[in-house]
A and B are shown apart, each in its own frame.
Chain A
Amino acid sequence: MENKDTQWNLWEVFVQYKAGKAYEHVGNVHAPDAELALQNARDLYARRERLAGMWVVPSEAIVASSATDSESFFDPADDKVYRHPLFYKIPKGVSLDVE
Chain B
Amino acid sequence: MAVTEVRLSIHTPGLNPKDISEKIKEKFPDQVIDVAEFRDQVSVIVKKDQIVPICKYLHDDPLMSLDHLQDLTAVDYLKKKDVRFEVVYNLYSIRYRHKIRIRAQVPENDPKISSVVPIWAGANWHERECYDMFGIVFSGHPDLRRILMPEDWEGFPLRKDYPLIGPEFEKDWPGFVEVVNKAKELKEFEWEG
A in complex with B: no
Interface residues of A (CB under 8 A from B): none
Which residues of B are interface residues toward A (Cβ below 8 A)?
none
